[in-house]
């Protein structure tokens, strides 16, 4: 069952089209990450689902029920959409205690008093804030304040939460901890969560599936973290997820050679993954997938070598291109290469992308 269905929504601010025929189906009981660069339209998607923006065309359904469609003259107000929201800048109210902050959505809905108490206690338990009822936000750490915001979202809706960069302002360790807590809470409650962030690592850690958006707001790829890492749909996705090197390559005499230095043969035959109909491409490769191997005919020189305790981080010059290489200490009898040294490299896990896809 789809929890949310966005069907070809268009959102425009004056002459700036942010979302064009944007469609996305979000199944019940999953955490879906929406990830993309700043300004691509993530918050606009969240605000449209919540009802703060009414898309000029297309429709949004929640639990199969139409929430908005100009064509059908439907636009359900935000408070009737039953969505719990945690926005980065949607802070807790400083003048209300933890209890009153979390109880607020229920009081607004005029829920019975004993029901309010039960739900607030339940929500506080879910975010590890038990016993903090009387604390004021000023007496809480940043992480605890975010927990209050999450608990408040939970009392708005136990089954659909939208979190838009909820933990971006926290330090790394706390972020990690909250991600684990959000995951555990979601598993306990079966909540559907839309988790919006530009932090692809957090999304990978937390989400069942991730939608990666292009800078123009269209979907570049939807999949599990594994699918996205193993099979990036485009050059943009490959670059967005982790550190990457790109080498311009061309076809010459049936071989793949480096464009800058055509004497460097990358592949003796054209690989199956070569983009059809192209005579040039960009070879994408991760720093971990470059192996130093003295027997290789692909020669490079080491321009910088940094020892990081458990790995070597190299910059090498390959046909005049600066390439990053990462080798784990102790792997394959790896010994340190010195700056200026001439080395052979083997390129594993090569991916070829069409040239014009530059982002």
Ligand X SMILES: Nc1ncnc2c1ncn2[C@@H]1O[C@H](COP(=O)(O)OP(=O)(O)OP(=O)(O)O)[C@@H](O)[C@H]1O
Q: How far is the CB of 323 from ligand X (least distance, A)?
A: 30
Q: State how far the Cα of 299 lies from the Cα of 321, in Å rounded to an integer.
A: 12
Size of the site for Mg ion (CB under 5 A): 2
Sequential DSSP letters for 231-257: S-SSHHHHHHSS--EEEEEEEETTEEE
Residue 137 binding target from Mg ion, ligand X, none, CB below 5 to 8 Å by type: none
48 near Mg ion, judged by CB under 5 A:
no
Shortest distance, position 68 Cβ to ligand X, whole Å: 17
Contact yes or no for 34/45 (Cβ under 8 A): yes
Q: Which is nearer to Mg ion, 43 or 146 (CB)?
A: 43
**Beta carbon of residue 332, minimum distance to Mg ion (angstroms, whole number):** 43
Q: How far is the CB of 10 from ligand X (least distance, A)?
A: 13
Question: Which residues are CB-neighbours of 37 under 8 A, at least 6 positions away?
Answer: 198, 213, 215, 240
Distance CA 117, CA 120 (A): 5
| Cα-based distances in Å from 20 to 12, 138, 350 | 8, 42, 33
Smallest distance from Mg ion to CB 194, Å: 13
Q: Quick one: what does residue 71 bind among ligand X, Mg ion, none, with the CB cut-off 5 to 8 Å set by partner type?
A: none
Q: Which is nearer to Mg ion, 149 or 316 (CB)?
A: 149
Q: Rounded distance, CA 294 to CA 69, Å?
A: 63
**What is the contact surface with ligand X in residues (CB under 6 A)?**
13, 18, 36, 38-44, 198
43 binds Mg ion (CB under 5 A): yes
Closer Cβ to ligand X, 40 or 86, answer by number: 40
Q: Which stretch binds Mg ion (CB under 5 A): 16-24, 38-46, 68-76, 206-214?
A: 38-46
User: How many CB atoms neighbour CB 130 within 10 A?
Assistant: 10
Distance separating alpha carbons of residues 336 and 14, to the nearest angstrom:
57
Q: Looking at beta carbons only, is 24 or 103 nearer to Mg ion? A: 24
Tell me whether residue 41 or residue 319 sits nearer to ligand X (CB atom).
41
Out of Mg ion, ligand X, none, what residue 38 binds, judged by CB under 5 to 8 A for its kind, is: ligand X
Question: At closest approach, how far in Å is the CB of 19 from ligand X?
Answer: 8
Given ligand X, Mg ion, none, residue 286, with its beta carbon under 5 to 8 Å by kind, binds: none
**Region binding Mg ion by CB under 5 A among candidate stretches 39-47, 54-62, 65-73, 237-245:** 39-47
Does the footprint of Mg ion cover residue 126 (CB under 5 A)? no
Residue number, 54 or 121, with CB nearest to ligand X:
54
Strand order in the sheet with 290-292: 290-292, 342-347, 299-307, 311-318, 321-328
**Residue closer to Mg ion, measured from CB, 167 or 281:** 167
Cα–Cα distance between 32 and 196 in angstroms, integer? 8
**Gap between the Cα atoms of 155 and 82, Å rounded:** 10
197 contacts Mg ion (rule: CB under 5 A): no
Q: How far is the CB of 293 from ligand X (least distance, A)?
A: 41
Query: Quick one: which of 343, 331, 334, 257 has its CA closest to 299?
Result: 343
198 interface partner picked from ligand X, Mg ion, none, CB below 5 to 8 A per type? ligand X
Helix (H) or strand (E) holding 103: helix 98-108
| Residue 196 β-bridge partners | 34, 164
Minimum Å gap between C-beta 116 and ligand X is: 33
Closest CA to 273 of 231, 332, 320: 231
Side-by-side strand order, sheet with 245-252: 265-267, 255-258, 245-252, 280-285, 351-354
Q: What is the closest distance, in whole angstroms, from the C-beta atom of residue 35 to Mg ion in the complex?
A: 11
Binding site for Mg ion (CB under 5 A): 42-43
């Amino acid at each position: 069952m789809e929890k949310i269905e966005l069907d070809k929504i268009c959102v425009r601010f004056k002459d700036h089209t942010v979302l064009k025929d944007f469609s996305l189906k979000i199944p019940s009981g999953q955490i879906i990450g929406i990830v993309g660069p700043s300004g691509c339209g993530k918050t606009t998607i969240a605000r449209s689902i919540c009802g703060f923006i009414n898309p000029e065309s297309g429709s949004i359904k929640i639990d199969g029920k139409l929430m908005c469609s100009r064509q059908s003259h439907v636009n359900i107000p935000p408070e009737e959409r039953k969505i719990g929201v945690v926005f980065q800048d949607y802070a807790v109210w400083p003048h209300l205690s933890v209890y009153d902050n979390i109880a607020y959505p229920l009081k607004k809905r005029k829920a019975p008093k004993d029901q309010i108490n039960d739900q607030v206690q339940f929500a506080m338990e879910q975010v590890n804030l038990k016993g903090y009822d009387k604390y004021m936000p000023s007496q809480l750490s940043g992480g605890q304040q975010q927990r209050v915001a999450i608990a408040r979202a939970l009392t708005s809706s136990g089954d659909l939460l939208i979190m838009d960069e909820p933990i971006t302002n926290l330090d790394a360790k706390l972020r990690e901890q909250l991600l684990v807590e959000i995951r555990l809470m979601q598993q306990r409650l079966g909540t559907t969560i839309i988790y919006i962030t530009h932090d692809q690592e957090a999304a990978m850690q937390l989400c069942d599936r991730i939608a990666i958006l292009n800078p123009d707001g269209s979907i570049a790829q939807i999949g599990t973290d594994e699918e996205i890492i193993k099979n990036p749909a485009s050059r943009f996705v490959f670059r967005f997820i982790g550190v990457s090197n790109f080498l311009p390559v061309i076809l010459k005499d049936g071989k793949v050679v480096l464009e800058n230095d055509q004497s460097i043969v990358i592949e003796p035959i054209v690989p199956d993954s070569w983009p059809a109909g192209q005579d040039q491409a960009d070879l994408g490769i991760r720093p971990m997938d470059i192996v130093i191997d003295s027997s290789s005919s692909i020669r490079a020189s080491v321009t910088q070598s940094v020892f990081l305790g458990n790995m070597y981080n190299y910059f090498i010059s390959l046909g005049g291109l600066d390439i990053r290489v990462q080798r784990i200490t102790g792997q394959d009898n790896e010994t340190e290469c010195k700056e200026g040294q001439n080395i052979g490299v083997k390129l594993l896990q090569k991916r070829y992308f069409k040239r014009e896809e530059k982002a």
